[in-house]
Amino acid sequence: MNITTRNLTHTDFAVEVIGVTLDDVHKEGVQRRLQYLWLKHQVLLFKNLDTENEQRLAGLSKVFGRLEIHSRIEYLSNQVPELLYISNVKEGDRKIGALGDGEAGWHTDQTYRPTPALGSLLAAHVIPPEGGNTSFADMYRAYDALPEELKHRISGLKAVHSYEHFNEQYSEPSNSKQKADGTVQTHPVVRTHPITGRKSIYCPKSVVPYIVGLSPQDSQALLEEIHERSFRPEFVYEHKWNLGDGVLWDNAAAMHRRDTWDPAYPRLMKRTTIRPPEDLAVPF
Ligand SMILES: [Fe+2]
């Protein structure tokens, strides 16, 4: 099997993976190749997935780690609970998915937890004719491009990550399970990737209300400085979805956000949540 890639960005941050189908992902050689690609690139696009077949979506995700059943239990797939629905679709009065039809600001997944997801796969099952694009920002290169003085200033700092801070802007309040599990956590502003050892900015704009140990004014000023440098166009890949697209990203090295779309149109995305190796799960 010849698995190749095509760059989607001027760097190799985001690539399309060519030459693999879901029939092949149980093969050890294919798995090794995909795992390698995921560490080399931070966003992988798979085209023409059968998103009806949820076991297969879970199977592709399992190549990259153990799957977590997301704590938004009200929006899990009935067939395969490792899949979380992200959708504005309603069945009667019941929403079937998280986030509705609004914007979701820059974040990485589950950083309000002590051991956040390392990876996520998002697959397009129903999409509107336009809008609802998802953008990814390269936190390795954003970090590498920081002035040395700023790298020095943020070294060793920690930031508070609050799910409610995100929810107040973009979603609905945490459910009781999430509240019981905890929705506030502190993580380093600069993260070392648990597997590659590369450093990245780990300070998601929509989730971090403040940096620990600074005055509110100094914290706000530093956050603005970091964010202005994190989301520059040269670090961002904007993905316009086609049906059957599946995008897998590395939450330790990439942030993501999404746009709104005309709420008259349904959109249903299916997402898995990939755990880090347990002994490397706490961000450092
Ligand atoms: Fe997300």
Q: 3-class DSSP state for residue 142? A: helix
Helix (H) or strand (E) holding 87: strand 84-87
Share the mean pLDDT of the chain.
95
Going by DSSP bridges, is the β-strand pair 254-258/134-138 parallel, antiparallel, or unpaired?
antiparallel
Residue 130 alpha carbon to ligand 1 centre in Å: 20
Q: Are strands 14-18 and 43-46 parallel, antiparallel or unpaired?
A: parallel
pLDDT at 21: 86
Centre of ligand 1 to C-alpha 108, Å, is 6
Ligand 1 geometric centre to CA of 258 (Å): 9
Q: What is the pLDDT of residues 94-129, one digit of tens each?
A: 999 998 889 999 999 999 999 999 999 999 999 999
Q: How far is the CA of 255 from the centre of ligand 1 (A)?
A: 8
Angle made by CA atoms 258, 259, 262, in degrees to the nearest 5: 135
Sorting pLDDT into bands at 50, 70 and 90, what band is 60?
very high
In degrees and rounded to multiples of 5, residue 212 shows phi and psi of -65, 135
Residue type (1 letter), 218: D
Q: What sign does the CA torsion over 136, 105, 107, 20 have? A: negative
**What's the rounded mean pLDDT across residues 80-101?**
94
For residue 105, report the distance from its CA to the centre of ligand 1, in Å. Answer: 9
Distance 135 CA to ligand 1 centre (A): 11
Sign of CA dihedral 237, 254, 6, 129: negative
CATH 3.40.50.300 fits domain 4-277: no
85 residue type, one letter:
Y
CA of 109 to the centre of ligand 1 (A): 5
> What spacing in Å lies between the alpha carbon of 271 and ligand 1's midpoint?
9
Cβ atoms < 10 Å from Cβ of 169: 14
Q: Measured in angstroms, how far is the CA atom of residue 264 from the centroid of ligand 1?
A: 22
Residues 6+ apart with CB under 8 A from 233: none
Q: Which pLDDT score is estimated for 1? A: 72
pLDDT of residue 198: 97
Please check whether residue 106 is in contact with residue 281, taking contact to mean a CB–CB distance below 8 angstroms.
Answer: no
Cα(75)–Cα(55) distance, integer angstroms? 17
pLDDT of residue 133: 98
Which amino acid, residue 244?
Answer: G
CA of 1 to the centre of ligand 1 (A): 32
CA of 202 to the centre of ligand 1 (A): 14
Percent of the chain having pLDDT more than 70?
100
Please state the rounded mean pLDDT for residues 244-265: 97
Confidence of residue 174 (pLDDT cuts 50, 70, 90): confident
Residue 253 Cα to ligand 1 midpoint, Å, equals: 13
Residue 269 Cα to ligand 1 middle (Å): 11
User: How crowded is the C-beta side of 235, counted as CA atoms within 13 Å?
Assistant: 22
pLDDT of residue 196: 96
> With 90 as the cut, is the pLDDT of residue 181 above it?
no
Distance 256 CA to ligand 1 centre (A): 6
* Beta strands 14-18; 4-7: pairing state: antiparallel
Owner of token pair 């003085």: 149
For residue 108, what pLDDT is reported? Answer: 95
Q: Is the pLDDT of residue 171 over 90?
A: no
CA 64 to ligand 1 centroid distance, Å:
17
Going by pLDDT thresholds of 50, 70 and 90, the confidence category of residue 57 is very high
